[in-house]
Amino acid sequence: MRERFADLAGDSRAKPFWLPFRGRLLRLSHLRGCGESFYAFSHRAGYMGGTASCCMGVTMQRVILRRVAMLSSTEILMPQVQYPAPPFLAQQQSSDHGEESYKGSGRLAGKAAIVTGGDSGIGRAVAIAFTHEGADALIGYLDEDDDARETARWIEKAGRRAVLARGDVTDAQHCDAIVQQAVDAIGKLDVLVNNAAHQSTHAALDEITDEEWHRTVDTNIGAMFRITRAAVRHMKPGASIVNTKTSGARMGHPNTLPRVRR
């Protein structure tokens, strides 16, 4: 087997193959003089009609690259990617929470939902999607009254009922009050979305105070537990509880250590 691949590597009739290298694509026209390397590559990838084609592992790639200098010819087919450089043109940013773009189909018709942190961002998008699907919603928020009223406006425009619950979810009594307010206003509870969260950035670990740590944990974990505990007393079989989390829990970020949660 080794001799066969060595012979193929020295065969000038062998068709070229392509090798990714530092953001470029190399066309390896001849393989003479690197039989051992080509054997290692071909043994992993397979040799089909003189053309080797695969996504090679890092180890095999290094083996080949060490012998690229011995090839009789190489041809660069793709130039190195060029990216825009400053100064950049001004761009106008806009957020789409599904106010007009989301089209519901009645999948939550007659349901009642609680969405914490529903005044903006993901929470607003979820609340609007739920109401477009036919649900009434209570929106929990901290103190952003204008944002909360804007979310409520879109909910009511969709023909559903909007209930606003202002307050701090680090307060255990407020967590109970959110659920009770939803039940009193809408009459039941079918879906709970624990979305409210707190985040701050710090350049170093010793900048994080005890107060900051406790607020993060009480908001991102404590409130989730307390609101869920209050909600399950009113939920029937088939109801749903959704807990959101940050991608930092999986990927991590050096400046947002306290927020790595749920």
Give the bridge partners for 51, in sequence order. 48
- Say if 23 falls within a structural domain: yes
Q: Clarify whether residues 155 and 222 are in a common domain.
A: yes
Query: Which whole number is the average pLDDT over 4-20?
Result: 48
- Say if 153 falls within a structural domain: yes
pLDDT band of residue 93 (cuts 50, 70, 90) is low
What is the pairing mode between strands 162-166 and 24-28? Answer: unpaired
Query: Which whole number is the average pLDDT over 111-140?
Result: 95
- Say if 60 falls within a structural domain: yes
Q: Clarify whether residues 125 and 178 are in a common domain.
A: yes
pLDDT score of 32: 44
pLDDT of 60 above 80: no
Contact between 152 and 231 under an 8 Å Cβ cutoff? The reply is no
Specify the CATH number for the domain of residue 184. Answer: 3.40.50.720
- Say if 102 falls within a structural domain: no
Number of structural domains found in the chain = 2
Q: What are the helix and strand counts (H, E) for the chain?
A: 9, 8
Q: Clarify whether residues 70 and 138 are in a common domain.
A: no
- Say if 87 falls within a structural domain: no
pLDDT of 23 above 70: no
> What is the residue range of 229's domain?
112-259
- Say if 204 falls within a structural domain: yes
Q: Clarify whether residues 73 and 135 are in a common domain.
A: no
Give the Cα separation of 41 and 28 in Å (integer).
Answer: 13
- Say if 138 falls within a structural domain: yes
**Half-sphere exposure for 227 (CA within 13 Å, toward CB):** 36
Question: Against a cut of 0.85, is the pTM above it?
Answer: no
pLDDT band of residue 46 (cuts 50, 70, 90) is very low
pLDDT score of 6: 42
Q: Clarify whether residues 57 and 125 are in a common domain.
A: no
Q: What is the pLDDT of residues 160-211, one digit of tens each?
A: 999 999 999 999 999 999 999 999 999 999 999 999 998 887 788 888 899 9
Ranges assigned E (strand) in 95-143: 112-116, 136-141
Q: Clarify whether residues 140 and 19 are in a common domain.
A: no
pLDDT band of residue 9 (cuts 50, 70, 90) is very low
Q: Clarify whether residues 253 and 174 are in a common domain.
A: yes
Q: Clarify whether residues 132 and 193 are in a common domain.
A: yes
SS3 label, residue 48 = strand
Q: Clarify whether residues 72 and 121 are in a common domain.
A: no
Q: Clarify whether residues 66 and 136 are in a common domain.
A: no
Q: Clarify whether residues 55 and 120 are in a common domain.
A: no
Give the Cα separation of 151 and 98 in Å (integer).
Answer: 11
Query: Which whole number is the average pLDDT over 28-35?
Result: 45
Q: Clarify whether residues 66 and 121 are in a common domain.
A: no
Lowest mean pLDDT among 99-108, 130-139, 183-192: 99-108
pLDDT score of 98: 81
- Say if 215 falls within a structural domain: yes
pLDDT of 71 above 80: no
